[in-house]
Amino acid sequence: MSEPLWAQQRHMRVWVAIKMGYVLNAALIVVPISIVVIAIIAFFGQRRLGRHRGVSREEFVGAFADNDVPPGIAGTVYDYYKSRAFSKEFSVAPDDDYEGVLSEGEEDIDDDAQFLLKNLDLRMPPDYASVRSETRIRTLRDMVLWLNWVCQHQRS
């Protein structure tokens, strides 16, 4: 003979409560472990960045004087990447590559380009997609020269 409906519902609630307890316990274990793992990865990434030595801001900006790059563009790029490391000794050089020094991929570079354009009050040129696909930005020098190109192609 089967149990009354109220007893079946009670058993179902107990079963759901037990399963929810398992989920909650798992979350209480997985979340802190994930946070610790992410913190360790970030620590070692920052430690690696902190060991990198580039050039001073003046040298970085001066490296683009021959290309008629406004100091504001080169200075903004230098300041942006220097601010990404906690170490005060960290600095960048024009020929630092994104993958090797900064551990960034294409999507990160695109995000950086968007951020730098916004900081420089530049608008994305209409032919951005075709120009960006033809121009592979590999180093900070490439980024500065590309931003200078965008600056020169701004519509009034």
Are 94 and 141 in contact, with CB atoms under 8 Å apart? yes
What gap in Å lies between CA 76 and CA 56, rounded to an integer? 13
Model confidence pLDDT, tens digit, residues 62-97: 999 888 899 999 999 999 988 887 767 778 889 888
- Which domain does 44 fall in, by range? 1-51
Residues 69 and 126 in one domain: yes
pLDDT at 24: 80
Residues 45 and 116 in one domain: no
Residues 19 and 46 in one domain: yes
Are 68 and 108 in contact, with CB atoms under 8 Å apart? no
Q: What is the pTM of this model?
A: 0.68
Residues 38 and 66 in one domain: no
